[in-house]
A and B are shown apart, each in its own frame.
Chain A
Amino acid sequence: GAVVSQHPSRVICKSGTSVKIECRSLDFQATTMFWYRQFPKQSLMLMATSNEGSKATYEQGVEKDKFLINHASLTLSTLTVTSAHPEDSSFYICSASADSGLVLHFGNGTRLTVT
């Protein structure tokens, strides 16, 4: 079945630094990738939708200059959390779709802790 690899699975960083999270589709071409954030005991919240070769579409309330998304190829999207703060500590998950979002394949998530 389709596999999405997300890296790193866990990262601890200091306040003010930037963190890059990678999301790769290993056995299919992902025309669309989605990035989510999940706080403890809450549901997934879509942050942005990225389409290969074009700018990401951000959800309302998500700062595009803080959460930089790059989807330069059909198999890789990256999310960079810039100038991280403790309130950015969360579980970040990507998902990829080859068929316009009909079926989502999720990465295994990245747990970010900002100290």
Chain B
Amino acid sequence: RKEVEQDPGPFNVPEGATVAFNCTYSNSASQSFFWYRQDCRKEPKLLMSVYSSGNEDGRFTAQLNRASQYISLLIRDSKLSDSATYLCVVNTGANNLFFGTGTRLTVIP
């Protein structure tokens, strides 16, 4: 089983829609979790860290469910500029980082 699993999509949603991605991880001792955004042919950029209590930044909400071992990213009121690939990253400690395959989102006018 992969350390981190993510639905690659693609997710094609209309502008204004709400879309959610999940990412499951296999190591219950995982310590920290992140969502990165990667635009085509560019490097990933940190979108949000994911905290146990859940956190929100504008239209973006990240949540962690330790019992079921997944993290989620919710995007409300999708914009065209949200089109990108969203990568989840899990740190199991001691510099052990695992990337999901990325979920490709396309927001359609």
Contacts and interface: CB of A to CB of B under 8 A. Distances in A.
Interface in A76-115: 91, 93, 97, 100-104, 106-109, 111
B96 to A, nearest CB: 8
A42 interface: yes
A100 B95 contact: yes
A34 B102 contact: no
B55 interface: no
A92 B49 CA distance: 24
Size category of the binding interface on chain A: 20 to 34
A75 interface: no
Interface residues of B, number: 21
Contacts of B49: 103
Indicate the member of A34, A49, A101, A108 with the most B CB atoms within 10 Å: A101
Given A101-B91, A102-B32, A103-B49, A93 B97 contact: no
A19 interface: no
A54 interface: no
28 contacts: A34-B95, A34-B97, A43-B87, A43-B101, A44-B87, A44-B99, A45-B99, A46-B97, A46-B99, A49-B95, A91-B41, A93-B43, A100-B94, A100-B95, A101-B91, A101-B95, A101-B96, A101-B97, A102-B91, A104-B44, A104-B46, A104-B89, A106-B43, A106-B44, A106-B45, A107-B43, A108-B43, A109-B42
